[in-house]
Structure 1
Amino acid sequence: MTAADGPQAVHAHCRPDPTEFIRANMRLAPAPSLPEIRLYTPHPASGLRRLIDPRQYADDEMDDDGPEPQPPYWAYVWAGGAVLARHILDHPQTVAGRRVLDLGAGSGLVGIAAAKAGAREVIAAEIDRNGVAALALNAAANGVAITVIGDDITRGSPLAVDLVLAGDVFYGQDVAERVMPFLERCLKAGIEVLVGDPGRAYLPRSRLRLLAEYKVPDFGQAKDSALEPSGVFRFEG
């Protein structure tokens, strides 16, 4: 076995193409609380682990010092994204004629809602390669055009947009610490920032003004449990 035939080569060879995998193993279905939008959605037989962790195909005795695979956040609707998307569809003037950035876009739900509501241009930023594939497929399935950026844009200058939509970006401390300075730079550049969140641990409440509340389901929530309000907030200086 040559160096090129080692564990890394095995893993690369076995990694499914995300676009083909999503098409073949996920189903288009209306998003929870958003019947206007259809998303590629996992089901019990989807086998998402095959897409996010190809190491399971390699020899069990092989060591892999690479990074852990990114959890498939993009495959599910989170309350922060759902509440933003619902608000945008109910109040299309929020985005109509404006250049919009969907930050941490995941499935693209928020960006799709913005495009449907009449945004002049929608850019979606998502760092997970599988999420990037899902986003493009979901946009096409809903008949909207979205420009996808597959890099972490939070370390750079704000993009040339009028509005940033940030759904569920405060679920972890490390993510919040990256996002906050970027949102502050957006404000200084004169860009409006709206946040959707059900009240995650790292939500910067002192910087937010509540605009609206909606009861939408959240990722991981039991189907029969009561829905709690999630908020749409304006991020302020």
Structure 2
Amino acid sequence: MEAFVREHTTARATEFVPEVVLRVAEDVTPLWELTGASEPPFWAFPWAGGQGVARYVLDNPQVVVGKRVFDLACGSGLVAIAAALAGAGAVTACDVDEMALVAARINAEANGVTLETLHADVLATGVDAEVVLAGDVFYDRDMAHAVLPFLRRAAAGGAVVLVGDPSRPYLPKAEFERVAGYEVPVPRSLEGVAVLPTTVWRPRV
């Protein structure tokens, strides 16, 4: 898997979060066909929501310094890496896609940080973390339905919960409060536009 990630991606600084270098693909469709997976290779691109959370964490390191951080649906590991760079005590990057965890480990190494990786679906359970970060997890109705109770439980348990979202239609804004907003550059091949307004939210508790 590591050889596959390296062969089909190129290392480059993330445009909105230049502190983080990621291995990214040029085009989603050919890579998706190569993986044979049912879902796109979320690990091969810096999605807007993740860029927003990563930017916020790096600009506000007090949120994560010395704390146990959990990155839900980590994809490329962008958010987890940003938390580690900002001084988190320990960072777990979690995804249901094993390839994402391979990519996250490669990217973490390139950025000189260490992540714990977890290949699991944790949405029906809970996690032992002081900070829970999630970038772009409200991209469809089923995912939103599954992830919302998890985030509610984490916040109710005392964790700081931050969600990055570029105005996806399935985030229930009434249940969240705005923390920050950004204009995030994105690959036009993914989103059909060059920039997406992206908000970092936290649940109302």
Question: What residue number does 2:142 align with?
Answer: 174
Rounded Cα–Cα distance in structure 1 between residues aligned with 2:87 and 2:143: 30
Q: Helix, strand or coil for the counterpart of 1:69?
A: coil
Rounded Cα–Cα distance in structure 1 between residues aligned with 2:116 and 2:167: 29
CA offset digits 1:145-192 (Å, max 9, x no partner): 111111111111x21110100111101111011101111111221112
- Based on CA coordinates, which of the two structures has the bigger radius of gyration? 1
Rounded Cα–Cα distance in structure 2 between residues aligned with 1:47 and 1:169: 23
Instruction: Give the fraction of aligned pairs with identical amino acids, expressed as a percent.
Output: 41
CA offset digits 1:66-105 (Å, max 9, x no partner): xx53311111111100011011111111111111110111
CA offset digits 1:13-63 (Å, max 9, x no partner): xxxxx211112231111112111111111136x95246411xxxxxxxxxx
Residues 1:127 and 2:110 are matched in the alignment: no
Q: Helix, strand or coil for the counterpart of 1:36?
A: coil
Residues 1:218 and 2:201 are matched in the alignment: no
8 Å CA contact 1:209–1:233 kept in 2: the answer is: yes
CA offset digits 1:115-165 (Å, max 9, x no partner): 000000101111112111111111111111111111111111x21110100
Instruction: Check 1:171–1:87 CA distance in 2 against 1; reply closer, same or farther (3 A cut).
Output: same
The answer for unaligned runs of 5 or more in structure 2 is none
Question: What residue number does 2:122 align with?
Answer: 153
Matches within 5 A, 1:1-237: 18-43=1-26, 48-49=31-32, 51-53=34-36, 69-156=38-125, 158-219=126-187, 220-221=190-191, 225=194, 227-237=195-205
Rounded Cα–Cα distance in structure 1 between residues aligned with 2:169 and 2:192: 20
Q: Write the letter of the residue equivalent to 2:170.
A: Y
What's the TM-score once normalised by structure 2's chain length?
A: 0.92
Q: Helix, strand or coil for the counterpart of 2:11?
A: strand
Deviation of 1:222 after TM superposition, in Å, equals: 5.0
What's the TM-score once normalised by structure 1's chain length?
A: 0.80
